[in-house]
């Protein structure tokens, strides 16, 4: 399953409250692996009042919030039942994701395009874990999971190889 951007409809004026509520629910219901980013698309608006320039943030789509998620029954339920959410945008009962170009354009417009992480690791390379529960263990990179921003490392413990997913910053190369 791929993560995609979906649009949810909210009570007008509740966009930021929905974002905050949803972020709390994601954490309390352990949905971090299914629901990723929540955006209230905003843009700068220049207002001139009494000869003074004032920059204010304006909601680009009042009443709508964007959610980057993997659509499953569980993730749908968490989002759909967040206070202030009136539903997903889509035909009938099936939410329709934004197409990739639309989503990227909105994210870029907000200036929060994710910086691409340069990966300086190779499959088969030896690494040492420098943080987390496997700190000080050595291992071999089995796979680079670009979409997740992680590495799958085979760590030798209890006399056998165990695959563990680690963030790029949790390991260092053994030179």
Domain ranges for the chain: 4-109, 126-173
> By C-alpha distance, which of 92, 169, 105 is closest to 131?
169
> pLDDT digit string (tens) for 81-138?
999 999 999 877 779 999 888 888 887 777 665 444 556 788 999 999 999 899 999 9
| CA 156 vs CA 128, 129, 136, 153: distances in Å | 11, 12, 11, 10
> By C-alpha distance, which of 62, 73, 69, 90 is closest to 22?
69
Asked whether the domain spanning 126-173 has the same topology as the one spanning 4-109, the reply is no
The pTM assigned to this predicted structure is 0.60
> In this structure, which topology does domain 4-109 adopt according to CATH?
Alpha-Beta Plaits (3.30.70)
The pLDDT, as a whole number, for residue 115 is 45
> Taking the mean position of all CA atoms in its chain, how far away is CA 137?
29
Structure tokens at 121: 């690791």
Domain 126-173 in this protein, CATH class: mainly beta
């Amino acid at each position: 399953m791929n993560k995609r951007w979906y649009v949810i409809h909210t009570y007008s004026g509740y966009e930021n409250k929905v974002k905050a509520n949803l972020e709390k629910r994601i954490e309390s219901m352990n949905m971090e692996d299914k629901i990723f980013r929540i955006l209230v698309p905003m843009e700068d608006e220049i207002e001139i009042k009494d000869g003074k320039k004032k920059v204010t943030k304006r909601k680009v789509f009042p009443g709508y919030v964007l959610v980057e998620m993997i659509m499953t029954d569980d993730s749908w339920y968490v989002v759909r039942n967040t206070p202030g959410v009136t539903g997903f945008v889509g035909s009938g009962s099936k939410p329709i994701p934004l197409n990739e170009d639309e989503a990227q354009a909105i994210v870029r417009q907000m200036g929060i395009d994710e910086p691409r992480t340069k990966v300086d690791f190779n499959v088969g390379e030896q690494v040492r874990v420098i943080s987390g529960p496997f700190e000080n263990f050595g291992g071999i990179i089995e796979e680079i999971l670009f979409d997740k921003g992680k590495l799958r490392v085979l760590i030798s413990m209890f006399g056998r190889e165990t695959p563990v997913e680690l963030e790029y910053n949790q390991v260092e190369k053994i030179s």
